Amino acid sequence: MTVAPSTAEFAPVAHLSLREVNKVYPGNPPLHVLKNVTLDISPGEFVAVVGPSGSGKTTMLSIMGTLDSPTSGEVWIGGVATRRLKEMERSRLRSDQIGFIFQQFFLLPTLSALDNVATGMLYQGISKRVRRERARRALDRVGLSPRAGHRPSELSGGEQQRVAIARAIAGEPAILFADEPTGALDRSSGRRIVTYLRDVAAGGTTVVVITHDHELAALFERRVSLLDGAVVGDERLAEAAVR
């Protein structure tokens, strides 16, 4: 795996660590969405986060990805305490170190698959030529090279999500977060997506995936269960079942 010039300024892979993380949404009554979550994820781990709807999975992922701040506690990414980072510093951290995949894909409808992937590195300070070159490679990794010139509307849901994966990994993030990436897809497309994500993790990237689907959750090395904002389970699955 080649290391991006921008990420070379950091340790190439990052340890992710949550310490006593709480999230309370103000209101009447206040909503205690995350309760004392403490979690350590090592570089290159392939982790599923499971739990019923409303259990706080998305909130936890957002806080781990610095899109949101905890009410108390600390999130460490590669040795950086993120809670007191300025907005600008979080942006830089996200651009260089973190990739995101969402259930809704969020592809730009007028751009080709290739341009969508290249846009993923727009805020990384990489020249357009290099962005396109890496985008081509990333599309190749998700098996979509032949569709590089197609617009999202010309692709199936599974293919669109593969474009989104390519977009998230093209910038070579240390950590990849995916919030129900298979939620809008049929079972076989979903399985394929998880396989691609597992390959990404095998390449050294930490991959944290929220999923509803228990059958898909069985494909991960580790499964963290949330219930009402608390971690109620953290199992390591047999190595043999994964690879």
Ligand X SMILES: Nc1ncnc2c1ncn2[C@@H]1O[C@H](COP(=O)(O)OP(=O)(O)O)[C@@H](O)[C@H]1O
Q: Which residues bind other proteins (CB under 8 A)?
A: 6, 8-10, 62, 65, 67-68, 78-80, 85, 87-89, 91-96, 98, 100, 102, 104, 106, 108-111, 119-120, 122-125, 127-128
Q: How far is CA 142 from CA 148, 175, 217, in A?
A: 11, 18, 20
Given Mg ion, ligand X, other proteins, none, residue 45, with its beta carbon under 5 to 8 Å by kind, binds: none
Structural tokens at position 80? 């950086």
Q: Does 56 bind ligand X (CB under 6 A)?
A: yes
Q: Which does 54 bind (CB under 5 to 8 A by kind): other proteins, ligand X, Mg ion, none?
A: ligand X
CA distances from 30 to 25, 26, 27, 71 (A): 6, 5, 4, 12
Q: How far is the CB of 190 from other proteins (least distance, A)?
A: 19
Interacting span for Mg ion (CB under 5 A) from 34-42, 50-58, 189-197, 235-243: 50-58
Choose between 56 and 99: whose C-beta lies nearer to ligand X.
Answer: 56
* 33 touching ligand X, by CB under 6 A: yes
| Residue 237 near which of Mg ion, ligand X, other proteins, none (CB within 5-8 Å, type-dependent) | none
Q: How many residues bind Mg ion (CB under 5 A)?
A: 1
DSSP structural state of residue 114:
H
Shortest distance in whole angstroms from residue 154 CB to other proteins: 16
CB 170 within 8 A of CB 117: yes
Q: Is the peptide bond before 29 cis (omega within 30 degrees of 0)?
A: yes
185 binds ligand X (CB under 6 A): no
> Contact at 8 Å (CB) between 73 and 234?
no
Run of H or E including 72: strand 72-77
Helices (H) and strands (E) in the chain, counts: 8, 10
Site for ligand X, rule CB under 6 A: 25, 31, 33, 51, 53-59
